[in-house]
Amino acid sequence: MIHNVTLEVSLKPFWDLSDEGIRAVCEKIYLQWQPLIKNIEIISILLWTADGSEILEYKGNLDDKFEWAKYIGVANPEVYGNIPDLPQDQLCIHYCPRLYRKAPPEYTYRDLKRVLDTMRTVFAEKGRVIRLGTTFDPGPEFAVSPFKYKNHQEICLADTLGTGKELKSFICCYAELDADSVAYAGFPDGIKQGTSFGKFLGRQTKHFCKDMGFDYIWLSNGLGFGLETWGVCGAIFDGEKFDNTACQNIKDKIFKFWTELRKELPDMPIETRGTNLSTGMDLSSDAVPLREVYQNVPGIKPPPNSPWAALNGDFGMELAGWMSHIAKLPSNTGYPFRFYTHDPWFINSPWLDRYGKNPHDIYMPLAIARLDENEKIMGPDSISFLSIDNSYGDMPEQVPDEVIPHIKAALKSAPDMAGPIVWLYPFDEYHDMTFSGENIEEVFFGDWFMRTAINTGFQLNTVVSSNNFNGISKGNVVVTPTAITRNKKAFELLITFIEDGGKVLFYGPVTDVKLLDLLGLKTSEAIEGELEAVINGKSKLIKHNSTYSGGVINTIKAKDDVEVIASVQDKVIALKRSNIAWVRGTNSFEIQKNGRYPEMYDRNKYFYPESLMRILVGKLGYVCEFDKYSQEQADPVIVTNYNANALYLSSYVPDLNTTERLKFPEGAPVFVETETIIEDGLSVYHFPKAEHLECRVFVEMEDGAVKCKEFCLTTPEVKRRLEVQGLKNATVRFRPETGYEDKTKVLRNPKGAPFTKGDFLEPEKENGFAGTVLMYRNVTGKILISW
């Protein structure tokens, strides 16, 4: 349940600093978002004042002026090094920032306080108490910062915006400050040599927030989560090798930042952006001790989903990264969802121009959920909007008007039970492997592999940590990396689950003797590099790098009942054996030394073994096939979840020249208000750019055109009706709405309202599925389903 809505806003709309001008903006904020916040318990306003330098430089004098985020583009372009010698209007805004309007106002701290006081007053007049948050960003983007890039360059240790330059671009949380004699609010005698950044930021924040009236702080762009928080490389991985010996030292440094920050801010809530990556990625690149931070830093919120998918289309990264961060949580807290409506700095408004007003980045993330320690489903408890103003300080009504209905619809169909495919995530095991210096390549491999698996159509919505796993309905498929064998209890529960008929898909290298035996494998000599693979009988070229992929390929078939799905030479890389399956896994990318992001292999040349995850889960009942015009064409991203016993499908189709063919364990899905062709038992669809569909009807039949549509009630005794047409000797399975399992009526070939008489079909209740499923055999023609 959503308890909090956070509206993020910059100072740009507040260009008129008269009392009337400030109040008008505050009134507008309330009115535009009132349809969403009217029934929400907590309303938060997160103010992007500058880049956090206004906190670092604060001296306690309210009449001091400060640099604020009045720019379009990177406010400190010197971090890029050599800037092209071109006229201003020919330079990218990363190299040449522009003022967002002519003659923007100058701000004093007293002006900032007036804005905050007015915001509280306006909302109080509406009967609402609000929380006010301030932001701190480690980078150069938002406001001119002499503190970072002139007076205290020593705290900028990260090459986030490029390598090999004299001036680093991002603050590192475990940096130490050089001495200076400036009288700051929290350090009236100046900064002593070697003062930790965590201590300095914490104490300055305490004074700044107390004087301004802020209630909490948001740490942006990965601050507190390592050195290179935007990239695949970092303090312990340079793109070619892992420095296992440095992990413990880096862990201690990061944790020191958090303990010293919290010591200075003992009672202030701390909210975090986190990195653009995942738990396993952060561990293997920067030794980020997320577990220790969650366990030992009170009052901290976990990171939301990254907004980067809006920029680069990498929704696999967004979804896998978010699930890995919420698999385990700080005690007594929920977790936030964040949606990218506008960018206040770089002339893009994602809802309008990057998403094209398509709501896939609403429906897919809001279909994500976790299982807690009591095996209860848990969705986000907070929603944030970055941001409610655009780069020019405008707040177009079109955006809340269009976005809010999708948010409400997504929440209405949010998961209320574990989804069809559940990710059993080794949160603690990945930490143990990293800080023991053991198999860190495997930690790196696992999350990157899952990211690309999702990007190639693997459906995933529910995550559970290994320590929270206590078994699950055998109607769900459990997917887990082979590292799960390091948790004896969880692995034994998995074995019991499998023995009871549960389906499990493993991925990753296999070294555990018991798992080798379970999969029907044995080890052999190792291979890697460019390899000819056979996938479902067809020859494909793959490229396996052992550094990126958790080791070499070295397993061969050991038992006759193993169905080999994919192989390289005599090595098995994907198999099915009864109700279990396994994919060895390869990360299909290259990484430049100290590079920021992996570069995927040419898909016209190489097959991506990550897509074997979708093929293998199809062997376990969740068939999802794509017809594309070329191999390099991007695959759809699909998330499925259950709500009120219906299956919901949310998707993003980056290239509409794609046909989707689906079949689930219940049968071919026939979504409400759709028509489909059944071919070879699969339902055929052509999804738009973004889709969000409900399915309660599944059919087993060879071929034909089938449709499912809402039907008018015609009688007050009925809550809802669906009409299904085009059935030919079909087995129909229906998922009744929760609470209506015994009240569902199915009428064959209905005639004459109110449809209380006729050929009513008797259902068979089927076991083996998550939730209740009613089955009707040998159905031809039309049926009316009422409840």
User: Which of 463, 294, 450 shows the shortest CA–CA distance to 370?
Assistant: 463
**Burial state string for 761-783 with b = 16 or more CB within 10 A and e = fewer than 16:** bebeeeeebbbbbbbbeebeebb
Residues 226 and 306 in one domain: yes
630 within some domain:
no
Residue type, 660: E
Q: Tell whether the model's pLDDT for residue 669 goes beyond 90.
A: yes
Give the model's pLDDT for residue 325.
98
Q: Do residues 525 and 571 touch, judged by C-beta distance below 8 A?
A: no
Q: Tell whether the model's pLDDT for residue 162 goes beyond 80.
A: no
Q: Do residues 771 and 475 touch, judged by C-beta distance below 8 A?
A: yes
Report, as an integer, the average pLDDT of 224-240: 95
627 within some domain:
no
Rounded-to-integer distance, Cα 414 and Cα 171, Å: 38
* Domain-ending residue, one of 386, 412, 438: 412
Q: How confident is the model at residue 92 (pLDDT cuts 50, 70, 90)?
A: very high
Residues 591 and 702 in one domain: no
Residues 611 and 669 in one domain: no
Element of type H or E holding 567:
strand 563-568
Segments forming the whole domain that contains residue 19: 4-412
- Beta bridge partners, 370, equal 378, 463
In 49-175, the DSSP E strands lie at 65-66, 71-72, 98-99, 107-108, 130-136, 156-158, 170-171
Q: Is the peptide bond before 754 cis (omega within 30 degrees of 0)?
A: yes
Tell me: the pLDDT tens digits for 102-111? 999 999 999 9
Q: Do residues 609 and 573 touch, judged by C-beta distance below 8 A?
A: yes
Residues 386 and 431 in one domain: no
Pairing of strands 382-386, 668-670: unpaired
Give the model's pLDDT for residue 164.
60
Contacts of 206 (CB under 8 A, 6+ apart): 186, 264, 265, 268
DSSP state of 666: T
Q: How confident is the model at residue 438 (pLDDT cuts 50, 70, 90)?
A: confident
Q: What is the tally of structural domains in the chain?
A: 3
628 within some domain:
no
Task: For 23, list phi and psi in degrees, rounded to 5.
Answer: -65, -40
Give the model's pLDDT for residue 372.
95
* Domain-ending residue, one of 412, 440, 469: 412
Q: Do residues 728 and 783 touch, judged by C-beta distance below 8 A?
A: no
Rounded-to-integer distance, Cα 9 and Cα 75, Å: 18
* Percentage of the chain modeled with pLDDT above 70: 100
Q: Please report, for the domain that includes residue 289, its CATH number.
A: 3.20.20
Residues 701 and 617 in one domain: no
Residues 332 and 430 in one domain: no
Distances (CA, A) of 496 to 122, 224, 474, 489, 490: 58, 40, 11, 11, 10
Residues 481 and 599 in one domain: yes
Contacts of 359 (CB under 8 A, 6+ apart): 403, 406, 410, 690, 692
Q: Tell whether the model's pLDDT for residue 593 goes beyond 90.
A: no
Tell me: the pLDDT tens digits for 183-224? 999 999 999 999 999 999 999 999 999 999 999 999 999 999
User: Which of 570, 577, 566 shows the shortest CA–CA distance to 538?
Assistant: 566
* Domain-ending residue, one of 377, 412, 447: 412
Residues 203 and 81 in one domain: yes
Residues 430 and 558 in one domain: yes
Q: Tell whether the model's pLDDT for residue 328 goes beyond 80.
A: yes
- Beta bridge partners, 385, equal 7, 339
Residues 180 and 257 in one domain: yes
User: What is Dmax (Cα atoms) for the chain?
Assistant: 90
What's the chain's Rg over C-alpha atoms?
28
629 within some domain:
no
